[in-house]
Amino acid sequence: MRALKLVAIAVVALALSGAAATAADAPSKSKSKPKEVSVADFYFGPEKLTLKKGQAVNWVWAETNTYPHDVHLKSGPKGLKGKATYSTKTTAVTDAEFEKTFTTPGTYKFICTIHPTQMHMTIVVKK
Ligand SMILES: [Cu+2]
């Protein structure tokens, strides 16, 4: 009888912890995560991304880099406001991130100003 009671308690505890985990996960599921782009030695990975309006991109400098890189908007859709905010002022080798939310639909072209011919990427934001 005592053993049965312990099993019952364990089952209740498991059910409760499961419910708690679900509740904790809920907020992160409701808003979409930023798409991650790797800023690596001589390439952005991926080089092409398609987003929905309102989605964000987070550029993350690769830990294995040995050269400095940046993220610079070369061209954006017509009428894009706050163009400067689409480029980071950070030039880093590693340990850097740059996040930007895209609210204006259209095509965006990014380069690394230090390696403009090798490092380029396109982001298309759909309506
Ligand atoms: Cu670079």
Q: Say how many Å lie between the CA of residue 13 and the centre of ligand 1.
A: 52
Peptide bond into 77 cis (omega under 30): no
CATH superfamily of 35-126: Cupredoxins -  blue copper proteins (2.60.40.420)
pLDDT number for residue 2: 54
Distance from the CA of 90 to the center of ligand 1, in angstroms?
12
Tally Cβ neighbours within 10 Å of residue 3: 7
* Mean pLDDT to the nearest integer, 99-104: 97
Q: Quick one: pLDDT at residue 3?
A: 53
Condensed to tens digits (0 to 9), the pLDDT of residues 34-91 reads 999 999 999 999 999 999 999 999 999 999 999 999 999 999 999 999 999 999 999 9
CB atoms within 5 A of ion ligand 1 belong to 69, 112, 114-115, 119
Confidence bin at 32 (pLDDT 50/70/90):
confident
Q: Are 115 and 69 a contacting pair, CB within 8 Å?
A: yes
Ligand 1 centroid – CA 82 distance (Å)? 23
**Which sequence spans correspond to the domains of the chain?**
1-31, 35-126
